[in-house]
Amino acid sequence: MFLSVRQQQILDIAKADGRVIVDDLASKFGVTPQTIRKDLNDLCDHRQLVRIHGGAALPSGSENLQYEKRRLIASREKIAIGREAAHLIPNNASLFINIGTTTEAVGEALTDHTELMVITNNINVANRLRLYPSIEVVIAGGVVRGSDGGIVGEAAVDFIRQFKVDYAVIGASAIDEDGALLDFDFREVKVAQAIIANARHVILVCDSTKFERTAPVRIGHISQVDSFITDRCPDPRIRRICEESDVRLVEVAI
């Protein structure tokens, strides 16, 4: 596919943010919304993007992106979500932190806490928090996934089951309209399920691009968490599930 300069820039924005919005692009490029819609239609026709309400997003086949690219998607939103989640966790607490770029943002925001015990299957979280003497880091054993430093497999599941902690911080690759939490790697899902089962308060952290994606493996359901922190929850069905299941929904200001 031959891309115009504007279309390539639109695709670059989508890769960085996970999605693009017609009105935002029209304002950025100084063209009409109709012109942007034509660009998006061309990109979607060639499977570079898929249409969503009001714009377009990366196709599902691109959602399990390389680690560094995933870190850049909605990076400001992830930082804000991480800080909000850290506010829910007091000093002198024990917690799990699962694999994911948003959960890593929570770990980064915890560096000013004291007397924490952090149990994680995320090498990046362990490597960051080990530098702080007031935080005890316990890392799971198992198969290390080369793509992102996540530790997965049955050994990690068995390790997690040894603990009962105050808090758990988990993410998901996608949130379905029925409230299902989804991911790509069944080995990672098994660890996440063990984390959910062995924490007194489960905190789900996901940016709003996760509402626009899909993944094949079910972690669980949003009704199983206690707090859900996101930058924006655009789906009234998810809001209703949270309300009916007594899940605290927090939308952070960006």
Whether residues 50 and 85 share a domain: the answer is no
Whether residues 48 and 85 share a domain: the answer is no
Whether residues 83 and 9 share a domain: the answer is no
Predicted confidence band at 176 (pLDDT cuts at 50, 70, 90)?
A: very high
Whether residues 84 and 144 share a domain: the answer is yes
CATH of the domain at 19: 1.10.10.10
Predicted confidence band at 216 (pLDDT cuts at 50, 70, 90)?
A: confident
* Average pLDDT over all residues of the chain: 90
For the ranges 52-61, 177-186, 189-198, 228-237, which has the lowest average pLDDT?
52-61
Calpha distance 135→151 (Å, rounded): 20
pLDDT (0 to 100) of residue 1? 60
Mean pLDDT across the stretch 1-20? 83
Per the structure, the count of domains in the chain is 2
75-88 vs 101-109: helix crossing angle, rounded to 10:
50
pLDDT (0 to 100) of residue 63? 43
Whether residues 224 and 173 share a domain: the answer is yes
pLDDT (0 to 100) of residue 186? 84
Domain edge (last residue) among 14, 31, 62: 62
Predicted confidence band at 65 (pLDDT cuts at 50, 70, 90)?
A: low
Q: What domain range is 244 assigned to?
A: 68-251
Whether residues 136 and 212 share a domain: the answer is yes
| pLDDT above 70 (res 79) | yes
Whether residues 58 and 158 share a domain: the answer is no
Cα atoms in the 13 Å half-sphere on the side-chain side of 28 = 12
Whether residues 181 and 93 share a domain: the answer is yes
Whether residues 117 and 12 share a domain: the answer is no
Which amino acid is present at 221?
H
Residue bearing tokens 């714009």: 55
**CB neighbours of 35 closer than 8 A, spacing ≥ 6?**
26, 29
Predicted confidence band at 62 (pLDDT cuts at 50, 70, 90)?
A: very low
CATH of the domain at 204: 3.40.50.1360
Predicted confidence band at 147 (pLDDT cuts at 50, 70, 90)?
A: confident
Whether residues 81 and 53 share a domain: the answer is no
pLDDT (0 to 100) of residue 104? 94
pLDDT (0 to 100) of residue 45? 83
| pLDDT above 60 (res 60) | no
41 and 52 in contact (C-beta within 8 Å)? Answer: no
200 and 89 in contact (C-beta within 8 Å)? Answer: no
* Number of CB atoms found within 10 A of residue 151's CB: 23
**What predicted TM-score, i.e. pTM, was given to this entire model?**
0.75
Mean pLDDT across the stretch 12-19? 77
For the ranges 10-24, 32-46, 91-105, which has the lowest average pLDDT?
10-24
* Number of CB atoms found within 10 A of residue 179's CB: 20
pLDDT (0 to 100) of residue 254? 75
84 and 105 in contact (C-beta within 8 Å)? Answer: no
| CA angle centred on 191, ends 186 and 196, rounded to 5° | 120
Domain edge (last residue) among 62, 85, 107: 62
| pLDDT above 80 (res 74) | no
Strand ranges in the chain using DSSP code E only, listed in sequence order: 19-21, 50-52, 55-57, 94-97, 116-120, 135-139, 143-144, 151-152, 165-170, 174-175, 180-183, 199-205, 217-221, 227-230, 248-251
Domain edge (last residue) among 40, 62, 84: 62
Whether residues 18 and 115 share a domain: the answer is no
Whether residues 50 and 142 share a domain: the answer is no
Mean pLDDT across the stretch 123-139? 95
Q: b/e per residue, 206-243, with b = 16+ CB within 10 A?
A: bbbbbbbbebebebbebebbbbbbbbebebeebeebbe
